[in-house]
Amino acid sequence: MVSDPLARWWTQPVQVQRKAADGPYGPTFDPPATEVGKITAKRKKVLAPDGSEVISEARVSLPFVTAQIPPGSLVTLPDEFGGRTAEVLADQRHWGTELTPNFYSIDLT
C-alpha cells in the first residue's frame, strides 16, 4: 500500500451531501458524509460543467482516492470558515508528477 504524501495536509473536516439525481422537485442528495481535506478560501474563476465561467469562493483539496463529489453537491464548511453551506461548482482529479502528488479538488460557491 502506498501512503498519501499529502496526509498531513488533510486536517479540516467538511460535511458533504453528494448530489444523487435531479428529481421532479429539484435535486436529491445522498446522506451527509464527512470528508477531511485542506480548505483554501480564495476567490477565483473556474469553468462550470456547462463550460461557463463562474466565480469560486473556496476550494477543498482532498485525497486523490476520495469518491467523486459531483457539481451541484452541497458542502458545509467548518465554523472557522463561516460554517456556511456551499454548492460544488466544479470538481477535478489532479494527476501529479514526480514533484507534485495526485489529489482531488472541489471548487465551491
Q: pTM score, two decimals?
A: 0.90
Average pLDDT over residues 54-60: 95
Confidence band for 2, pLDDT divided at 50, 70 and 90: low
Question: What pLDDT, on a 0 to 100 scale, did the predictor assign at position 47?
Answer: 87
Question: What pLDDT, on a 0 to 100 scale, did the predictor assign at position 15?
Answer: 98
Residues 3, 6: Cα–Cα separation, whole Å = 9
Average pLDDT over residues 22-33: 96
Side chain identity, residue 10: W
pLDDT, tens only, 40-54: 999 999 988 888 999
Of 99 and 15, the structure prediction assigns the larger pLDDT to: 15
